[in-house]
């Protein structure tokens, strides 16, 4: 989601915990005196998180959507309040909930924020109660089907679209959308070339288009376990054999890189899709998320520099 001077991006607990906690610590622990041990809980790791960033990429707001279909931990740094950041965070969380097919979501609103959430479509239900010593009220909202976003971003920033996937079909659709946006470059960090995602005709054709896009074309793949891709005849390996000047594969040699548990795709359109566990297909991303994109590109570049072609790939001339 794009605003004049800030952007809201999907985030993950594994990758963005430090920034999420920094915002929440300032707002809840320091300002509102919530006990630090109560601020982070068991709902954080599986939750879907969002971060608001300023024009320099600094985290200025945070929020989460839990598997229990609750929105919470919505926090905005003091100097950014009153500028639409909180509303933008909640709207992106609602957008994710709609994409997941949730019929409704609820939250526990501090009583001073009830009017704020009512403006966003929430209704207060039940009696007031205390949580961490602060008066709260339960609020709920009914959700319809996902709506096409009609937002005119400020040039040159493109419109951002949140990507949420919980199965192969949704992940394939997110991958296709990102590849369609890419012009010359993509980077992929994968355990075994994800045959269910990358060894399918539509994906291979999209990667082929990028690889043939011109002198700037560059498809780079970090492959942790090349043996399976080679022995099972993965068609992306065959494509790399035909287009060696544009498609490069390397295998990490550092143990920490080989044990990296996640998988991701980044594009030169500043889009990304991130799966916390490479062994699973669900994940999240955005078609335009400069801050998160920069983090993943930096990680990829570091690992790429200390990786090398595997013996299996060298035998194939890849």
Does residue 104 surpass a pLDDT of 50?
Answer: yes
So what's the pLDDT on residue 311? 63
Residue range 142-157: mean pLDDT, rounded = 54
Helices (H), 120-200: 168-181, 195-198
Q: Would you say the pTM of this structure is higher than 0.75?
A: no
* 136-175 as b/e: b if 16+ CB within 10 A: bbbbbbebeebeeeeeeeeeeeeebbbbbbeeeebbbebb
**1 is a domain residue:** no
So what's the pLDDT on residue 300? 94
CB atoms within 10 A of CB 35: 10
Same domain, 100 and 174: no
Does residue 230 surpass a pLDDT of 90?
Answer: no
Residue that has been written with the tokens 């320099």 in this structure: 56
Does residue 148 surpass a pLDDT of 70?
Answer: no
Residue 7 CA to residue 27 CA, distance in Å, equals: 19
Same domain, 302 and 198: yes
Residue range 187-208: mean pLDDT, rounded = 95
CB atoms within 10 A of CB 45: 12
Same domain, 170 and 238: yes
Q: Is the dihedral of CA 152, 154, 157, 161 positive or negative?
A: negative
Long-range contacts made by residues 137-140, C-beta under 8 angstroms, separation at least 24? 137/108, 137/109, 137/111, 138/106, 138/107, 138/108, 138/109, 139/106, 139/107, 139/108, 139/109, 139/114, 140/104, 140/105, 140/106
So what's the pLDDT on residue 286? 94
So what's the pLDDT on residue 184? 92
Same domain, 174 and 305: yes
* Strands of the chain, DSSP E: 6-11, 48-54, 59-65, 70-76, 104-110, 123-131, 134-142, 162-165, 185-190, 218-223, 247-252, 263-267, 272-275, 283-286, 307-308
Same domain, 311 and 170: yes
In this prediction, what percent of the chain has a pLDDT beyond 90? 65
**150 is a domain residue:** no
pLDDT digits (tens, 9 = 90+) for 32-46: 998 888 899 999 999
Average pLDDT, the chain: 88
pLDDT digits (tens, 9 = 90+) for 48-99: 999 998 878 889 999 999 999 999 999 999 999 888 899 999 999 998 898 8
pLDDT band for position 112 (50/70/90)? confident
pLDDT band for position 1 (50/70/90)? very low
**155 is a domain residue:** no
Q: Tell which wins on pLDDT, 282 or 7.
A: 282
Phi, psi dihedrals of residue 100, rounded to the nearest 5°: -85, -5
Same domain, 166 and 311: yes
Domain boundary among 112, 142, 172: 142
Please give the tally of structural domains in the chain: 2
pLDDT digits (tens, 9 = 90+) for 199-215: 999 999 999 999 998 88
Q: In CATH, what number is assigned to the domain containing residue 36?
A: 3.40.630.30
User: Which whole-number Å values give the CA distances from 37 to 92, 129, 178, in the listed order?
Assistant: 27, 20, 39
**151 is a domain residue:** no
Same domain, 220 and 310: yes
Q: Is 283 in a helix, a strand, or coil?
A: strand
Q: Tell me the β-bridge partners of 222.
A: 189, 250
Same domain, 166 and 310: yes
Domain boundary among 114, 142, 170: 142
Does residue 316 surpass a pLDDT of 70?
Answer: no
pLDDT band for position 157 (50/70/90)? low
So what's the pLDDT on residue 146? 53
So what's the pLDDT on residue 154? 37
Q: Is 190 in a helix, a strand, or coil?
A: strand
Domain boundary among 87, 114, 142: 142
Same domain, 105 and 170: no
So what's the pLDDT on residue 2? 40
Residue 318 CA to residue 316 CA, distance in Å, equals: 6
Same domain, 53 and 11: yes
Q: Which residues contact 157 (CB under 8 A, 6 or more apart)?
A: 2, 7, 288
Residue 140 CA to residue 145 CA, distance in Å, equals: 17
**188 is a domain residue:** yes
pLDDT band for position 133 (50/70/90)? confident
Q: In CATH, what number is assigned to the domain containing residue 237?
A: 3.30.870.10
How do beta strands 263-267 and 272-275 pair? antiparallel
- Count Cα neighbours of 224 within 13 Å in the Cβ-side half-sphere: 20
Domain extent for 48:
6-142
pLDDT band for position 8 (50/70/90)? confident
Same domain, 182 and 213: yes
**147 is a domain residue:** no
Residue 148 CA to residue 94 CA, distance in Å, equals: 13
pLDDT digits (tens, 9 = 90+) for 281-298: 999 999 999 889 988 999
Same domain, 91 and 217: no
**26 is a domain residue:** yes
**149 is a domain residue:** no
Distance, C-alpha 59 to centroid of its chain: 15
């Amino acid at each position: 989601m794009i605003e004049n001077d800030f952007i809201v991006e999907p985030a993950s607990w594994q990758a963005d915990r430090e920034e999420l906690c920094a915002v929440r610590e300032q707002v809840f622990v320091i300002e509102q005196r919530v006990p630090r041990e109560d601020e982070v809980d068991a709902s954080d790791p599986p939750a879907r998180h969002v971060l608001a960033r300023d024009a320099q990429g600094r985290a200025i707001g945070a929020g989460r959507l839990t598997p229990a279909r609750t929105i919470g931990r919505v926090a905005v740094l003091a100097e950014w309040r009153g500028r639409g950041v909180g509303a933008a965070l909640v709207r992106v969380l609602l957008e994710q909930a709609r994409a997941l097919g949730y019929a409704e979501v609820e939250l526990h609103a501090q009583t001073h924020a009830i009017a704020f959430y009512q403006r966003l479509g929430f209704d207060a239900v039940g009696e007031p109660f205390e949580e961490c010593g602060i008066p709260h009220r339960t609020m709920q909202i009914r959700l319809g089907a996902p709506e096409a976003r009609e937002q005119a971003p400020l040039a040159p920033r493109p419109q951002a679209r949140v990507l949420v996937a919980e199965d192969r079909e949704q992940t394939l659709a997110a991958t296709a959308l990102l590849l369609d946006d890419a012009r010359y470059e993509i980077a992929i960090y994968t355990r075994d070339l994800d045959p269910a995602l990358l060894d399918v005709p539509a994906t291979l054709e999209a990667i082929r288009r990028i690889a043939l896009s011109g002198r700037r074309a560059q498809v780079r793949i970090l492959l942790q376990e090349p043996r399976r891709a080679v022995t099972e005849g993965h068609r992306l390996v065959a494509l790399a054999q035909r287009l060696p000047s544009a498609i490069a594969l390397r295998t990490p040699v550092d143990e920490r890189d080989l044990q990296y548990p996640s998988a991701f795709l980044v594009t030169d359109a500043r889009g990304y899709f991130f799966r916390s566990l490479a062994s699973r297909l669900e994940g999240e991303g955005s078609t335009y998320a400069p801050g998160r994109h920069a983090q993943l590109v930096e990680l990829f570049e570091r690992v790429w520099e200390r990786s090398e072609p595997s013996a299996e790939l060298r035998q194939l001339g890849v």
